[in-house]
């Protein structure tokens, strides 16, 4: 009887151990992939939120009435107020390429990065600024578009604008693009925004 009980307390076979190790390996690979995708999504949310904020700034600037400063004579009338888009802003960081897998700290000194422009153009007109380190290069162009994206994105034309972010999170030769634009309708004079952000190579 004692011999039989001794045989009942046997360990795992090599095949069983290999199956367990294989299952753990698969679960670990899935976990690593999920964590990487989560981290990449957290980084791309910076671009999506910022492009949305730049677009809202452009729309708000257009809605503001712009009127020339005038000294009127008695009985005179001022010129009519107008609506216009902010003129183009200098990209931040300024340069041909976005930050390659690193963050860039915007310079908050007057006349630098997001502290450039005037009441009618640039980042000050948009009332947009970032003080925390950023993964992307941000741009705002009035009447034109950046070159680089290979897909078909909405073209706002000469009467519109484009706000976007260009990134290179893995520091390779491929950039990611997040772009949203808007155009002024020649008939109604109203600004119409793109329905959503154009995204190309989201996790690059």
Structural domain spans, the chain: 46-65+82-200
pLDDT (tens digit per residue) in 9-31: 667 788 888 888 888 888 877 77
Say whether pLDDT at 151 is over 60: yes
Q: How many CB atoms lie within 10 A of CB 108?
A: 12
Structure tokens at 175: 């950039």
| Between 157 and 17, residue with greater pLDDT | 157
Instruction: Please give the mean pLDDT across all residues of the chain.
Output: 87
Residue 41, pLDDT > 90, answer no
Residues 59-73: tens digit of each pLDDT: 999 988 666 676 777
Q: Give the pLDDT mean for 46-56.
A: 96
Q: Please compute, for residue 144, the number of CA atoms within 13 A of its CA located in the half-sphere on the CB side.
A: 7
Q: Quick check: bond before 93 cis, omega within 30?
A: yes
């Amino acid at each position: 009887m004692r011999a039989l009980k001794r045989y009942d307390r046997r360990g795992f076979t090599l095949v069983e151990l290999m199956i367990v190790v294989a299952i753990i390996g698969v679960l670990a690979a899935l976990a690593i992939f999920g964590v990487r995708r989560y981290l990449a999504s957290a980084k791309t949310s910076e671009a999506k939120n910022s492009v949305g904020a730049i677009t809202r700034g452009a729309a708000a600037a257009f809605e503001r009435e712009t009127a020339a400063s005038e000294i009127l004579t008695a009985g005179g009338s001022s010129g009519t107020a107008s609506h216009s888009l902010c003129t183009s802003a200098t990209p931040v960081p300024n340069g041909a390429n976005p930050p390659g897998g690193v963050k860039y700290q915007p310079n908050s000194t007057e006349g630098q990065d997001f502290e450039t422009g005037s009441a009618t153009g640039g980042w000050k007109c948009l009332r947009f600024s970032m003080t925390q380190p950023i993964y992307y290069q941000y741009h705002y162009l009035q009447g034109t578009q950046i070159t680089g994206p290979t897909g078909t994105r909405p073209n706002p034309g000469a009467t519109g604008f484009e706000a976007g972010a260009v990134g290179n999170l893995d520091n390779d030769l491929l950039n990611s693009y997040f772009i949203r634009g808007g155009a002024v309708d020649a008939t109604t004079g109203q600004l119409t925004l793109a329905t959503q952000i154009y995204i190309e190579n989201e996790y690059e």
